[in-house]
Amino acid sequence: MTDTLAIKITKVTQSRLASVDFENLQFGKTFTDHMFTADYANGEWGNFQIVPYGEISISPAMSSLHYGQSFFEGLKAFKHDNGTVSIFRPDKNAERFNASAERMCMPTLPEEIFIESISTLVNLEKNWIPNQANSALYIRPFMFATDPFLGVAPSTTYKYMVLTGPVGAYFSKNLNVKIETEYSRASEGGFGYAKCAGNYGGAMYPSKLGTQQGYDQLMWTDSKDHAYIEEMGAANIMFLVAGTLITPTTRDTVLNGVTRDSILTLAQQWGIPVEERRVSVAEIIEAAQNGKLTDAFGAGTAAGVASVISITYKNQKYDLPNPAHSEFTQRLSKTLLDIKYGRIEDENGWNVVV
Ligand SMILES: *Cc1c(COP(=O)(O)O)cnc(C)c1O
């Protein structure tokens, strides 16, 4: 990685590393010693800094608090057995970062700045990447509007920041999910494809209702008719039906996941038939009924592959085969991890070594 950005680095005087219990990491609660920050003003990005992780001072009139010009990314860095550290497909996150920025009427960030901010920070925090199996360093880049102005208008100033924190192995239990037929996560012409803050705030209430009813996740459907499956929780959804991998096409209501893209690429390379198209609730229920639906799983950076064990639609529960016995799901999750940890050849060039 070339050093082209002038990043001013202020290091902590005392690292918190020794006080971290790496055996009991909870996602999103532990942060490394430093964070990256940059400011946008007068039409350009500047003030690139790495500073000790800590609170920042903001105006209570800060426009992102009131009108939601705010979005984020999520990706991970992995430590290989030989000590090499790599970040998984950050170019894809840079691309999506700017897709979110454009939709939220916010400034884009040159891909070099995105990549360099992340790799410089990860490099500085290398010692924080856990050695425990299947642990990683979670990377959270985000941008928000900072004008202290209550007018409903795009802000003229913004902050771009990156936080990093160690995360443990994600033991995803098999999920009991409900097909949501009342609430929607995203609508046509909307911004479901952007990783903007409001999408997640708006999903919390229906998700809470689902949890109260005993479901682990919601399968989101189209907002018009609730007849087509779009996503699951904050992950893409995939189905293996009679040996064909089927997933909803990315569109304005479906986020373009990096894990989704990686899985589709691997499946194609393995010669598994892949269909990206609209996926109706009716066909999935029928496939579940006649036993052709052998695998269903969420795909995302946090969990990797998160298997579904049952699908409930209109109070009717359909059980799926145990994913532990699925050759496809097992091969898929193992291969993804093996690539990220450098245990097998990275044939697609997905790992960016720091
Ligand atoms: C982040 C996210 C995903 C998964 O994207 P990855 O790049 O694979 O992590 C899918 N759907 C939604 C709604 C998301 O927020």
Predicted local distance difference test score (pLDDT) of residue 232: 98
Q: Which of 100, 213, 228 is nearest to 160 (CA)?
A: 100
Question: What's the start-to-end Cα distance of the chain, in Å?
Answer: 7
Write the single-letter amino acid at 11: K
Domain extent, residue 140, equals 8-168
Asked if 37 and 185 sit in the same domain, the reply is no
CA distances from 219 to 64, 106, 191 (A): 29, 30, 18
Closest ligand 1 atom to residue 258 Cα is 7
Tokens representing 161?
A: 């920041």
Are residues 128 and 43 part of one domain?
yes
Mutate which of 93, 196, 247, 301 for ligand 1? The one with the most ligand atoms within 8 Å of its CB, which is 301
CATH of the domain at 230: 3.20.10.10
Q: Which atom of ligand 1 is nearest to the CA of 260?
A: 8
Establish if 114 belongs to a structural domain. yes
Burial level of 239, CB count in 10 A (0-12/13-18/19+)?
buried
Cβ–ligand 1 contact at 217 (below 6 Å): no
Specify whether 182 is located in the same domain as 161.
no
Of 236, 254, 258, which is best to mutate to test ligand 1, by the most ligand atoms within 8 angstroms of its C-beta? 236
Q: Which atom of ligand 1 is nearest to the CA of 92?
A: 7
User: Can you read off the two tokens belonging to residue 86?
Assistant: 């790599």
Euclidean distance between CA atoms 218 and 211, whole angstroms:
9
Q: Is the CB of 234 under 6 A from ligand 1?
A: yes
Q: Is 64 domain-assigned? A: yes
Inside any domain, residue 299: yes
Q: Please report whether residue 348 resides in a domain.
A: no
Ligand 1 centre to CA of 100 (Å) is 12
Residues 113 and 25 in one domain: yes
Asked if residue 247 has its Cβ within 6 Å of ligand 1, the reply is no
- Does 354 fall in a domain? no
Strand, coil or helix: what is 49? strand
- Report how many domains make up the chain: 2
Given the CA of residue 195, which atom of ligand 1 is nearest to it? 15
Residue 48 lies in a domain: yes
Q: Which of 135, 150, 168 is the last residue of a domain?
A: 168
Does residue 327 lie within any of the structural domains?
yes
Tell me which residues of the chain have a pLDDT lower than 70: 1-3, 171
User: Residue 261 CA: which ligand 1 atom is closest?
Assistant: 8
pLDDT attached to residue 303: 85
Whether residue 92 has its Cβ less than 6 Å from ligand 1? no
pLDDT of residue 1: 45
- CATH, residue 24: 3.30.470.10
Asked whether residue 181 falls in the same domain as residue 263, the answer is: yes
Q: What is the pLDDT of residue 132?
A: 82
212 lies in the same domain as 125: no
Answer yes or no: do 86 and 156 share one domain. Answer: yes
The answer to whether residues 35 and 127 belong to one domain is: yes
Assess whether 36 and 135 both reside in one domain. Answer: yes
The answer to the question of residue 347 being in a domain is: no
Q: What is the pLDDT of residue 2?
A: 47
- The pTM of the full predicted model, rounded to 2 decimals, is 0.97
Strand partners, 228: 280
